[in-house]
């Protein structure tokens, strides 16, 4: 182990010793006067299915509904979450881009199997789709921020999720169709436009590290909910046997809100729903997906502010509501460290936007990196530095990717200052 890695590990261990402990998997949380839960929970009980009309009512994008405006004098955030330490320092300029080209919004980011270099799928210099851009959206960065390779030009319309499998193949989910859609955000919409020569979107693509297309899932440009179609696939992972799990659905219609399981050749095996009858929102229930060292499937149910955990056949195992409003997930299989990106928390969610760090084995939350811009309020400006995607390298450095404004931030353990918040009863002092 390098000197840096040893010292960083010691600092991290010391920092996390300041965090309050949590219960183990399955222990119920004590009531906290409408505060959000701070421990893992069992899955909800079975309920009768909702009617199509009720589902439609709960599929409004954004989830705010028509209720009262949030009260900025009242916080649902738990004392436990407030006390989590942040032992990390940020570096937003560690990488370079080709002259004349700017990085686009990113939700898909993953460390390479070498444990050092970083893959991203960026939105062709913007925050939406790649129509008309003709640039390579998949970029491979070295550990020192140099570009090692790029590919995917004119093959991907809306890059969203990214996965690096055990053979170092690169999987990208292409969320939105480039075909005109009737008034929906799920495609181009708007005024009539020419039909593109090559339909894209509503697909998952598997590439070699050099950019050769190896496999395509879904029917390019065509939404659907059967065995050969996808509707706004957000993310993808594979298991040790090569089986594929697609998080099929996003935060606007059409969205299937399901996990699709396929074998390594792309043959459909089964699918299971990710929005459940008791959920307040019936959309955006699978924005990201991960798999831990035990083979359990972690799903970012962003629409309902929690992580849902399943076995590989879709059995609902647990609910983790204490990692924020999950947008992106990453699990380091060596240690089962869980990183959870939160780009959407608000006053009503009971969390602050940022990145939670904890254990995929026990559900314990150990650290939190808050968004420097904080929660949006009437007096704050637009934008968020909070990540849509997150990963970490073998040295424990965290990489977060954001959409508005665009960027990749590298977070390194502090070695010269103490984590914040400081432990109570410390040296104190004033300004």
pLDDT in tens, 269-287: 999 999 999 999 999 999 9
What local confidence, expressed as pLDDT, does residue 330 receive? 98
145 preceded by a cis bond (ω within 30 of 0) = no
157 preceded by a cis bond (ω within 30 of 0) = no
Read off the pLDDT of residues 199-212 as tens digits, 9 standing for 90 and up. 999 999 999 999 99
What local confidence, expressed as pLDDT, does residue 33 receive? 44
Size of the chain, expressed as the number of residues it contains = 431
Return d(Cα 130, Cα 319) in angstroms, integer: 35
Q: What average pLDDT does this structure show over 396-423?
A: 89
Three-state DSSP class for 12? Answer: helix
> With the C-alpha atoms ordered 3, 6, 10, 16, is the resulting torsion angle positive or negative?
positive
Half-sphere exposure of 341 (CA within 13 A, CB side): 32
Q: What average pLDDT does this structure show over 292-296?
A: 98
What local confidence, expressed as pLDDT, does residue 415 receive? 87
CB 110 within 8 A of CB 68: no
Return d(Cα 251, Cα 59) in angstroms, integer: 8
Read off the pLDDT of residues 158-191 as tens digits, 9 standing for 90 and up. 999 999 999 999 999 999 999 988 765 555 444 4
Tokens of 200: 């894209």
What local confidence, expressed as pLDDT, does residue 68 receive? 64
Query: Is residue 35 very low, low, confident or very high in pLDDT (cuts 50, 70, 90)?
Result: confident
Return d(Cα 301, Cα 279) in angstroms, integer: 10
Read off the pLDDT of residues 333-383 as tens digits, 9 standing for 90 and up. 999 999 999 999 887 788 999 999 999 999 999 999 998 877 777 777 665
Q: What are phi and psi of 31, to 5 degrees?
A: -60, 140
Read off the pLDDT of residues 56-89 as tens digits, 9 standing for 90 and up. 999 976 544 445 666 777 788 899 999 999 999 9
What local confidence, expressed as pLDDT, does residue 187 receive? 56
- C-alpha distance from residue 131 to each of 38, 47, 237 (Å): 43, 43, 26
CATH fold, domain 3-188+195-413, is Neuraminidase (2.120.10)
pTM strictly above 0.95: no
Neighbours of 220 (CB within 10 A): 18
Q: What average pLDDT does this structure show over 249-268?
A: 96
- Mean pLDDT rounded to a whole number for the chain: 86
Domain spans in the chain, listed from the N-terminal domain onward: 3-188+195-413
Read off the pLDDT of residues 134-149 as tens digits, 9 standing for 90 and up. 999 999 999 999 999 9
What local confidence, expressed as pLDDT, does residue 190 receive? 46
CB 340 within 8 A of CB 352: no
254 preceded by a cis bond (ω within 30 of 0) = yes
What local confidence, expressed as pLDDT, does residue 428 receive? 38
Least confident among 29-33, 246-250, 252-256, 414-418: 29-33
Return d(Cα 83, Cα 420) in angstroms, integer: 9
Neighbours of 393 (CB within 10 A): 18
Residue 46 in this model has a pLDDT that exceeds 50:
yes
């Amino acid at each position: 182990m390098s000197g840096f890695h040893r010292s960083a590990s010691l600092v991290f261990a010391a920092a996390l010793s300041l965090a309050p402990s949590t219960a183990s998997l399955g222990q119920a949380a004590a009531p906290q006067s409408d505060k959000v839960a701070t421990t893992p929970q069992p899955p909800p009980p079975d309920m009768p299915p909702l009617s199509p009309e009720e589902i439609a009512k709960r599929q409004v994008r954004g989830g705010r509904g028509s209720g009262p405006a949030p009260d900025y004098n009242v916080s649902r955030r738990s004392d436990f979450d407030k006390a989590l330490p942040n032992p990390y320092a940020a570096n937003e300029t560690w990488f370079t881009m080709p002259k004349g080209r700017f990085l686009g919004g990113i939700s898909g980011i993953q460390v390479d199997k070498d444990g050092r270099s970083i893959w991203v799928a960026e939105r062709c210099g913007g925050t939406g789709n790649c129509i008309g851009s003709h640039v390579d959206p998949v970029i491979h960065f070295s550990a020192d921020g140099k570009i090692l390779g790029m590919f995917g030009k004119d093959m991907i319309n809306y890059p969203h999720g990214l996965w690096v499998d055990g053979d170092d193949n690169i999987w990208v989910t292409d969320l939105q169709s480039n075909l005109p859609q009737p008034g929906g955000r799920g495609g181009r919409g708007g005024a009539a436009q020419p039909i593109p020569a090559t339909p894209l979107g509503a697909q998952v693509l598997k590439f070699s590290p050099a950019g050769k297309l190896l496999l395509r899932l879904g029917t390019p440009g065509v939404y659907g909910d059967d065995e050969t179609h996808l509707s706004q696939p957000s993310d993808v992972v594979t298991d040790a046997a090569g089986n594929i799990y697609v998080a099929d659905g996003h935060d606007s219609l059409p969205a299937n809100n399901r996990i699709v399981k396929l074998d390594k050749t792309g043959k459909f095996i089964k699918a299971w729903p990710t929005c459940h009858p008791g959920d307040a929102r019936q959309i955006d229930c699978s924005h990201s997906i991960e798999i831990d060292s035990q083979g359990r499937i972690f799903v970012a149910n962003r629409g309902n502010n929690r992580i849902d955990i399943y076995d590989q056949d879709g059995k609902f195992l647990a609910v983790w509501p204490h990692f924020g409003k999950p947008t992106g997930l990453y699990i380091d299989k060596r240690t089962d460290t869980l990183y959870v990106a939160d780009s959407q928390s608000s006053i009503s969610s009971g969390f602050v936007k940022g990145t939670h760090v904890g254990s995929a084995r026990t559900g314990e939350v150990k650290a939190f990196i808050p968004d420097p811009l904080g929660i949006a309020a009437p007096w704050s400006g637009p934008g968020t530095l909070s990540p849509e995607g997150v990963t970490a390298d073998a040295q424990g450095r965290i990489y977060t990717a954001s959409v508005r404004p665009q960027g990749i931030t590298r977070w390194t353990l502090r070695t010269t200052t103490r984590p914040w918040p400081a432990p109570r009863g410390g040296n104190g002092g004033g300004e």
